[in-house]
Structure 1
Amino acid sequence: MTSRGRNPLADGRVATGLPPARDLERARRFCSEKLGLEPVDERPCGLLYRCASGESQLFRSAGAAPGTFTQTSWQVDDIETAVSELRHRGVVFEEFEPAAVYGGGRTEDGIAEVEGHFRSTGARGDRDAWFRDSEGNMLSIGQPRY
Structure 2
Amino acid sequence: MLQTSPLYSYIPAKDIARARRFYEDMVGLRPKEETNGGVVYEFGGGTAAFLYLTPNAGTSRASQAFWSVQDVDAEIQALKARGVQFEQYVDMPGERSAQGAITAGGAKAAWFRDSEGNIMALVQTLSKG
Scaled by the length of structure 1, the TM-score of the pair is: 0.79
- The alpha carbon displacement at 1:105 in A equals 2.2
Aligned counterpart for 1:75 among listed residues 68, 73, 84: 68
User: What does residue range 23-42 of structure 1 map to in structure 2 within 5 Å?
Assistant: 23-42=15-34
Cα displacement (A) at 1:97: 3.5
| Count of aligned residue pairs for this structure pair | 125
1:131 partner letter: F
Q: Is the 8 A contact 1:110 1:130 kept in 2?
A: no
Contact 1:95 1:107 in 2 (8 A): no
Letter in 2 for 1:112: I
Question: What CA RMSD, in Å, does the superposition of the two structures yield over aligned residues?
Answer: 1.6
Identity of aligned residues (%): 32
TM-score by length of 2: 0.88
Gaps of 5+ in 1: 1-6, 116-124
Gaps of 5+ in 2: none
Q: Note the 1:1-146 alignment, pairs <5 A.
A: 7=1, 9-18=2-11, 20-53=12-45, 54-97=47-90, 99=92, 104-105=93-94, 107-108=96-97, 109-115=99-105, 125-146=106-127
| Distance change >3 Å, CA 15–CA 63, structure 1 → 2 | same
For the residue of structure 2 that corresponds to 1:29, the secondary structure is: helix
Determine which structure has more spread, i.e. the larger CA radius of gyration.
1
Quickly say closer, same or farther: Cα 1:16–1:98, change in 2 above 3 A.
farther
